[in-house]
């Protein structure tokens, strides 16, 4: 089925605006690899307009009473709950290649995120502390930063954008959004929903375009006070360096190479089912996908057999089938990246347990590699596709060492029935999160999501996000003569 054709302009100051250049770029559908829409191609001049609007919008939005900001975000949540499927379901499938279940999950998680952010509006707590001078009183206030530039990825183009936007707004900031060039249409539609809910038109703008042309001028703009990026580590390194040049607050949620550790007391059949869930959602285009699986020797063979079976039973490809786990990868480059990592590992001694090729179009088979060399890209780098590696560990200590054999540190899972061992592993694994009895891919609107090492810096979710997008100010008052 050919998707509907969409043409989208920029959203600046609450209005549709053509790019100053008048140019558009094509948006391809991952399912058909054909043009499904066009989006305005923003550059420097458009970023100037959006930031000017956001400076104005910041004063309007931050001046509102907390109860008004709270009510606005709750209205956005209600609009998403009542109209989200109608507005976004097809777009999520057509533009980002989501299967229907993942698209629905994004919509309902967005409702949850907006409600959680609304709840944070009244929790921007300050502080007091004692002074040795009894006539002096000290207070700490939490204040918004101003304009936050949001640079978002394609893999969960609605939910991640909502998370990145709702909490800075809750804290009283205005935002300028630069979504992935792969998924601009969803972002503009989301910006419009926020304005419809009552966020002042100037407080949310969406500029669509490419990283260099549109993202870079936003990041370096002197009118932007802070940057939030969810994206690849390579982009994080560029944006982080730029932000540091200007001493801007920056939050970086980057790539992952998350480990799932299967200890010998855990049922290998169940472990394989958990591993498949944690790895193949959205074809592995998930930052927390367990793309490295470490299995203790006594259950290794049984786990591999069960994993092969589970992968071969996975239904893939048909995005509108509710039993389908995943559809196409985002574009051909994404397929080629998986193929490059796979062939490098195979040339250097790894074997394929199952999968290893394209099924149709951009749909790649669920693929499991056995024992890739520890310096191969399949083990070290993010493949961001449906491919995971399984390695054998002689004992608990080696399992933890293998889990920690990564420059990333986003999330991990530990499968054991021994809660003491589970905690021991959780404390020993170097990662922003460790889930005992479950895989690494977990989301919760209240949780501090973020990573160590190449996975980035800062945390998002609940008050951890509003902490990131507010500044502390010490105010003291002299009450004596
Ligand atoms: P990407 O880095 O290619 O792009 C992310 C965004 O950055 C896009 O909007 C892009 O246009 C923009 N960009 C690129 N270069 C830029 C520049 N020089 N200046 C300003 N903006 C620039 O990432 P992607 O491929 O869209 O997303 C996938 C990546 O995101 C994966 O690495 C994945 O692990 C990561 N991710 C991380 C999390 C997390 O929570 N840690 C969540 C989702 C995705």
DSSP 21: T
| Inter-helix orientation angle 159-170/100-120, to 10° | 10
CB 441 within 8 A of CB 433: no
Radius of gyration of the chain (CA): 23
449 - beta bridge partners? Answer: 460
CB 107 within 8 A of CB 82: no
- Ligand 1 centroid from CA 196, angstroms: 27
- Ligand 1 centroid from CA 362, angstroms: 20
Question: Which residue, by CA, sits nearest to atom 32 of ligand 1?
Answer: 232
Mark whether 60 is an active-site residue: no
Enumerate residues 6+ apart whose C-beta is below 8 A from 397. Answer: none
> Which pLDDT does position 4 carry in this prediction?
81
CB 282 within 8 A of CB 314: no
Pick the CATH number of 6-254+455-474 from 3.40.1390.10, 3.40.605.10, 3.40.50.720, 3.40.50.2000: 3.40.605.10
Give Dmax over CA atoms of the chain in angstroms. Answer: 81
471 - beta bridge partners? Answer: 143
Query: One of 70, 214, 287, 468 is an active-site residue; which one?
Result: 287
> Which pLDDT does position 248 carry in this prediction?
96
pLDDT digit string (tens) for the chain, length 481 residues: 677 899 999 999 999 999 999 999 999 999 999 999 999 999 999 999 999 999 999 999 999 999 999 999 999 999 999 999 999 999 999 999 999 999 999 999 999 999 999 999 999 999 999 999 989 999 999 999 999 999 999 999 999 999 999 999 999 999 999 999 999 999 999 999 999 999 999 999 999 999 999 999 999 999 999 999 999 999 999 999 999 999 999 999 999 999 999 999 999 999 999 999 999 999 999 999 999 999 999 999 999 999 999 999 999 999 999 999 999 999 999 999 999 999 999 999 999 999 999 999 999 999 999 999 999 999 999 999 999 999 999 999 999 999 999 999 999 999 999 999 999 999 999 999 999 999 999 999 999 999 999 999 999 999 999 999 999 999 999 998 7
Q: Which atom of ligand 1 is nearest to the CA of 456?
A: 41
Find the distance separating the first CA and the last CA of the chain, reported in whole Å.
Answer: 79
Mark whether 253 is an active-site residue: yes
From 150, 153, 253, 411, mutation site for ligand 1 pocket: most ligand atoms within 8 A of C-beta? 153
Domain ranges of the chain: 6-254+455-474, 259-444
From 179, 185, 188, 232, mutation site for ligand 1 pocket: most ligand atoms within 8 A of C-beta? 232
Name the pairing type of β-strands 351-354 and 367-370: antiparallel
Count of Cβ atoms closer than 10 Å to residue 33 Cβ: 13
Question: Which residue, by CA, sits nearest to atom 16 of ligand 1?
Answer: 211
Query: One of 182, 213, 253, 339 is an active-site residue; which one?
Result: 253
Pick the CATH number of 259-444 from 3.40.309.10, 3.20.20.70, 3.30.70.600, 3.40.50.300: 3.40.309.10
Q: What is the pTM of this model?
A: 0.97
Judge residue 142's burial from the number of C-beta atoms within 10 Å of its C-beta, 0-12 exposed, 13-18 middle, 19 or more buried.
Answer: middle
CB 372 within 8 A of CB 340: no
Distance CA 174, CA 177 (A): 10
Question: Which residue, by CA, sits nearest to atom 9 of ligand 1?
Answer: 180
Count of Cβ atoms closer than 10 Å to residue 439 Cβ: 26
Distance CA 31, CA 42 (A): 26
Of the candidates 276, 238, 271, the residue with the CA atom closest to the CA atom of residue 254:
238
């Amino acid at each position: 089925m050919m998707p509907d054709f969409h043409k989208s302009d920029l959203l600046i100051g609450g209005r549709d605006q053509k790019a100053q250049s008048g140019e558009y770029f094509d948006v391809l559908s991952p399912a058909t690899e054909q043009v499904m829409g066009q989006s305005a191609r923003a550059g420097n001049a458009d970023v100037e307009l959006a930031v000017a609007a956001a400076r104005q919008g910041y004063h309007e939005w931050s001046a509102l009473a907390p109860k008004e900001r709270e009510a606005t975000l709750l209205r956005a949540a209600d609009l998403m709950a009542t109209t989200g499927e109608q507005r976004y379901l097809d777009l999520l499938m057509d533009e980002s290649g989501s299967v229907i279940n993942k698209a629905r999950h994004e919509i309902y998680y967005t409702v949850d995120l907006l409600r959680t952010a609304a709840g944070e509006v009244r929790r921007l707590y300050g502080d007091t502390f004692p002074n040795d001078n009894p006539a002096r009183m000290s207070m700490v206030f939490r204040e918004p930063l101003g304009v936050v530039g949001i640079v978002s990825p394609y893999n969960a183009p609605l939910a991640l954008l909502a998370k990145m936007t709702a909490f800075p707004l809750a804290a009283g900031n205005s935002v300028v959004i630069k979504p992935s060039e792969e998924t601009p249409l969803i972002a503009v539609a989301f910006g419009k929903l926020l304005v419809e809910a009552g966020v002042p038109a100037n407080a949310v703008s969406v500029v669509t375009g490419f990283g260099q042309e549109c993202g870079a001028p936003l990041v370096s703009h002197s009118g932007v006070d802070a940057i939030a990026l969810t994206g690849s580590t390579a982009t994080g390194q560029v944006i982080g360096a730029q932000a540091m040049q200007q001493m801007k607050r920056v939050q970086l949620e980057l790539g992952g190479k998350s480990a799932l550790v299967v200890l010998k007391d855990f049922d290998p059949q169940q472990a394989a089912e958990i591993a498949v869930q944690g790895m193949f959602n959205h074809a592995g285009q998930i930052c927390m996908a367990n793309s490295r699986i470490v299995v203790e020797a006594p259950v290794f063979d049984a786990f591999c057999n069960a994993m092969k079976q589970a992968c071969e039973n996975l239904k893939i490809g048909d995005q509108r089938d509710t039993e389908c786990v995943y559809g196409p990868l985002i574009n051909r480059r994404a397929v080629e990246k998986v193929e490059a990592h796979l062939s490098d590992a195979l040339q250097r001694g790894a074997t394929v347990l199952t999968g290893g090729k394209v099924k149709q179009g951009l749909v790649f088979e669920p693929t499991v590699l056995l024992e890739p060399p520890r310096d191969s890209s399949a083990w070290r780098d993010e493949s961001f596709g449906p491919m995971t590696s399984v390695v054998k560990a002689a004992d608990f200590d080696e399992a933890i060492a293998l889990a920690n054999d990564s420059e990333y540190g986003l999330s991990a899972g530990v499968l054991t029935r021994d809660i003491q061992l589970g905690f021991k592993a959780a404390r020993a694994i170097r990662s922003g999160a460790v889930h005992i009895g479950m895989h690494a891919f977990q989301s919760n609107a209240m949780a501090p999501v973020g990573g160590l090492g190449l996975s980035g810096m800062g945390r998002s979710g609940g008050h951890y996000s509003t902490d990131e997008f507010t500044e502390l100010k010490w105010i003291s008052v002299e009450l004596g003569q």
